[in-house]
Amino acid sequence: MSELRPEGRGSFLEAREEHGLDEEESYPAYSAVAARTGRVRKYFEHERIRQTVVTILIQGQLYHSWEEARSHSETFQFRSRTFRDQVFTEEGLDRYVLVAGKGDPWSHRVTMARSLLGLEHTLEISYVDEVISKDGWRLVSPLDGHEYVYQMYLANDAEFTGRISVPFIWDRMEQCIANNESADILRMLNAYNIAYLNHDRAVDLYPQKRAKEIDGLNDYIQDEINNAVYKVGFSPTQEIYDKMLSQLYDALENLDQHLSTQRYLSGPELCEADLRLFATLVRFDIVYYPCLRCCKKRLQDFHHLWPYTKEIYQTPQIRPTVNFDAIRKMYFSLGFLNPSLIIPAPADIDFDSKVTSTEYMLYSAPFHSP
């Protein structure tokens, strides 16, 4: 997959490795760390980045923006995705709850896996509100006495320092967060399904024979697509915006070409890389195009990415995990992106239109239309 590897970019990936960021860090998070360490300070110093609303705990104290956090603590050590326990054994999943957001793309990759693997009745799920409140994610229904997600982080560590995020696995027996890295959760769900449930006929989202290729795809998609839409949307200057936008669409064109000769990213069957990509693509024309100014070209105008997205959406186990109203509410209710807080009418996008063999040019697998 050499043609899908970022060349000459480096800044985000290198900073992530240098400063210990896990893969889900969005661009504002990177900006805060970069500012603290002296890298690309201009991002953080720009008013648009400084006022980005995000829930942060510093030594157990709740703050509501990078600017507020920085003004109270110049030297705090930013930590993220701190809880990385490998859970899910033959004892079952009864003690665990998946906490997720219906509009959140990192939660979405996990809820899609949960559905594809047939774990809806095995792993309980608790959702947060679509609209992020002043105190961060609020649970739709209190869980073990907790109303807000930040309270569950404090249950792990009363002096916790870091960003408050979903998804995560809550351990009801230990009353703590077991793991809050979506990449870990995705992989653990797949491994649990194969090891303990339906091994012979199980869906395998990470087959070992394709592991190296999938890892490469994951890295590329994370930096060049998943995080790239935020790099565009949070660009503080025209010059940076133009550069970020160009890089994003270069990557989309690369993927579009890649899908011209095969059905999915790594062959004829869905893998976890497809879920990671789909979580961004299904949001692209609805929120990233208008809200994050990723507006050089619509997803619907790509020859292969668009039918690829439609076919995945039309998969019976995937469709119920997509909540377009929640997606729109989550993004358009963010005041720093949409000061009026007006949620626009739904775009007229037909994800249910039939995918034709002519449209999709599938060379590596028999064509199948839902």
Q: What is the pLDDT of residue 233?
A: 94
Residues 25/15, Cβ–Cβ less than 8 Å: no
- Angle subtended at Cα 182 by Cα 289 and Cα 154, rounded to the nearest 5 degrees: 110
Q: How far apart are the C-alpha atoms of 248 and 294, rounded to whole Å?
A: 8
Q: What is the pLDDT of residue 26?
A: 42
Q: How far apart are the C-alpha atoms of 217 and 71, rounded to whole Å?
A: 39
198 CB-near residues (< 8 Å, 6+ apart):
118
Domain 208-360 has CATH 3.10.20.30: no
Q: What is the pLDDT of residue 97?
A: 98
pLDDT in tens, 198-247: 655 678 999 999 999 999 999 999 999 999 999 999 999 999 999 999 99
CA 218 to each of CA 211, 246, 315: distance values in angstroms, whole numbers, following the listed order: 10, 20, 21
**Shared fold status for 96-201 and 208-360:** no
> Using alpha carbons only, how large is the chain's radius of gyration in Å?
20
CA 121 to each of CA 86, 96, 221, 362: distance values in angstroms, whole numbers, following the listed order: 21, 12, 30, 34
Domain range annotation of the chain: 2-72, 96-201, 208-360
Q: How far apart are the C-alpha atoms of 356 and 361, rounded to whole Å?
A: 9
Q: How far apart are the C-alpha atoms of 137 and 143, rounded to whole Å?
A: 13
Split the chain (370 residues) into runs of 10 and give each run's mean pLDDT: 48 43 44 36 41 73 78 57 82 94 98 96 96 92 98 94 92 96 96 80 88 97 97 94 98 97 93 98 97 97 96 97 97 87 92 80 44
Cβ neighbours, 10 Å, residue 86: 11
- Angle subtended at Cα 143 by Cα 140 and Cα 148, rounded to the nearest 5 degrees: 60
Cβ neighbours, 10 Å, residue 147: 13
Fold for the domain defined by 96-201: Glutaredoxin (3.40.30)
Q: What is the pLDDT of residue 76?
A: 52
Q: What is the pLDDT of residue 34?
A: 38
Residue 179 backbone phi and psi in degrees, to 5: -155, 135
Q: What is the pLDDT of residue 237?
A: 94
> 238-258 and 305-313 helices cross at what angle (nearest 10)?
70
Residues 170/97, Cβ–Cβ less than 8 Å: yes
Residues 179/168, Cβ–Cβ less than 8 Å: yes
